[in-house]
Amino acid sequence: MPVVVETVDLTKTYNGNTAVDKLNLRIEEGELFGFLGPNGAGKTTTILMLLGLTEPTSGVARIGGYNSTREPLKVKRLSGYVPEKVGFYEDLTATYNLAYTARLNGLSEKLVNRRVGEALEVVGLSEVANKNVGTFSRGMKQRLAIADILVKTPKVAFLDEPTSGIDPEGVNQMLDLISKIAREQKMTVVLSSHQLHQVQRICGRVGIMSKGKMVVEGLLDQLGKEALGGRFKVEIQLTEITSALIEAIKKINGVVGVERSGDLLLVGCSEDLRPQIARTIVDNNGLLVQMKIQSYALEDIYMKYFREV
């Protein structure tokens, strides 16, 4: 798959503070990329540089092969953007707001009406198409923002915190909508968020940003292994812990790390190794009290980087 979004050593400093620090990012066509990180990690700044709205201090940002700083118009034609605090002209109707976007993109009048109608249909706002946006709820405005992107039919869509400030029901609808359009329109979507479980639900690949750097990046399943030395964590309680036993457990195929905490043993492993561990304990004459397994959610990984901040 060709790379659609690319940054090479992208850096941005504001009055000596580095917001984005030598970021290298590659997103392939058709991906639904989850862009994670605490507030202030540099996600929005990265997106703004990719869109050519902010100039990088150094480094290059490219969308669809076009340099975002040198050819912003071509880049903007290819990409749709939903800012974090998305706004519409409140005293104009939903239809008018979308038609304005369509016209700014140079669509013919005939196409404008068709696209706007279709887009409102997809996000389920057809019934309020001729109501002023001022009367819309926050969730409706967010859906209208998605429609605003659909009108443009871009190659890449950047959604900055599209679920902030809406109720759980709305969040679910929103996430379904995003994954649906990504699939149906074959659109590359970059979803920026600090809400981990939402990203986890729909994104295939995630990148976690912290202090302007990409600290972890990869497919969801692989991430666990890299970050904490295993996808599963087995917690074992024994009457007595001997170093021989620890050594023996370490030798089991698939065990990545063993850690002792009080009378507990924490074993990180790539798959569910409880039977093998139990046998090893028995073979080493250990007395097993109880054994629990946890699978790592991305949450643990994420929290790890949050704590580091």
Partner 1 sequence: MTGLITVFKKELADDFTSWRFIILFTMVLLAGVLATYVAAGSIRGEVSGTSRFVFLALFTTSGGALPSFLSFIILFIPIVGIALGFDAINSEKNNGTLSRLLSQPIYRDAVINGKFLAGVVTIAVMLTSIVLLVTGLGLRMIGVPPTSEEAVRLFFFLIAAIIYGAFWLGLGILFSIFVRRVATSAMASIAIWIFFAFFMTMIAGLIANGLAPAGETLDTQIRNIEVQLMVMRVSPIMLFQEAMAVLLVPGMRTMGQILQLQTGAGAFMLPTPLSLGQSLLNVWPHLVSIIVLTVICFAISYIKFMREEIRAT
Options 45, 95, 142, 188; binder of partner 1; rule CB under 8 A: 45
98 binds partner 1 (CB under 8 A): no
A 10 A CB-CB count for 155 gives 19
77 binds partner 1 (CB under 8 A): yes
105 binds partner 1 (CB under 8 A): yes
Structure tokens at 90: 């409140």
Residue 47 and residue 80 in contact, taking contact as beta carbons nearer than 8 Å: no
Q: 3-state DSSP helix/strand/coil percent for the chain, to nearest 5?
A: 40, 30, 30
Strand order in the sheet with 3-14: 17-28, 3-14, 58-63, 66-67
- Provide the pairing of β-strand 79-82 with 232-238: unpaired
Backbone phi, psi, residue 276, to 5°: -65, -40
From 81-89, 116-124, 251-259, 285-293, span contacting partner 1 (CB under 8 A): 81-89
Closer by beta carbon to partner 1, 10 or else 273: 10
Residue 175 and residue 163 in contact, taking contact as beta carbons nearer than 8 Å: yes
Closer by beta carbon to partner 1, 90 or else 247: 90
Cα gap 150→126, rounded to integer Å: 14
From 47-55, 168-176, 193-201, 249-257, span contacting partner 1 (CB under 8 A): 47-55
Which residues, in sequence order, are CB contacts of 200 under 8 Å at separation 6+? 34, 206, 220, 297, 298
Q: Identify residues 5-24 at the interface with partner 1 (CB under 8 A).
A: 14, 19
Rounded to the nearest whole angstrom, what is the least distance from the CB of residue 13 to partner 1 in the complex? 12
From 82-90, 118-126, 207-215, 254-262, span contacting partner 1 (CB under 8 A): 82-90
101 binds partner 1 (CB under 8 A): yes
Options 24, 65, 70, 89; binder of partner 1; rule CB under 8 A: 89
Closer by beta carbon to partner 1, 160 or else 277: 160
Would residue 228 be called left, alpha or beta, if left means φ above 0 and alpha means ψ between -120 and 50 degrees?
alpha
193 binds partner 1 (CB under 8 A): no
- Provide the pairing of β-strand 66-67 with 79-82: unpaired
Closer by beta carbon to partner 1, 9 or else 90: 90
CA-to-CA dists, residue 307 to 16, 42, 301, 303, angstroms: 24, 17, 10, 6
From 29-37, 101-109, 218-226, 247-255, span contacting partner 1 (CB under 8 A): 101-109
Residue 274 and residue 234 in contact, taking contact as beta carbons nearer than 8 Å: yes
87 binds partner 1 (CB under 8 A): yes
**Sequence letter at residue 291:** M
Closer by beta carbon to partner 1, 90 or else 299: 90
54 binds partner 1 (CB under 8 A): yes
Strand order in the sheet with 264-269: 255-261, 264-269, 232-238, 288-295
From 25-33, 102-110, 208-216, 286-294, span contacting partner 1 (CB under 8 A): 102-110
Options 53, 238, 241, 246; binder of partner 1; rule CB under 8 A: 53
From 52-60, 202-210, 220-228, 259-267, span contacting partner 1 (CB under 8 A): 52-60
The residue ranges that bind partner 1 (CB under 8 A) are 14, 19, 44-45, 48, 51, 53-55, 73-74, 76-77, 79-90, 100-101, 103-106, 145, 148, 152
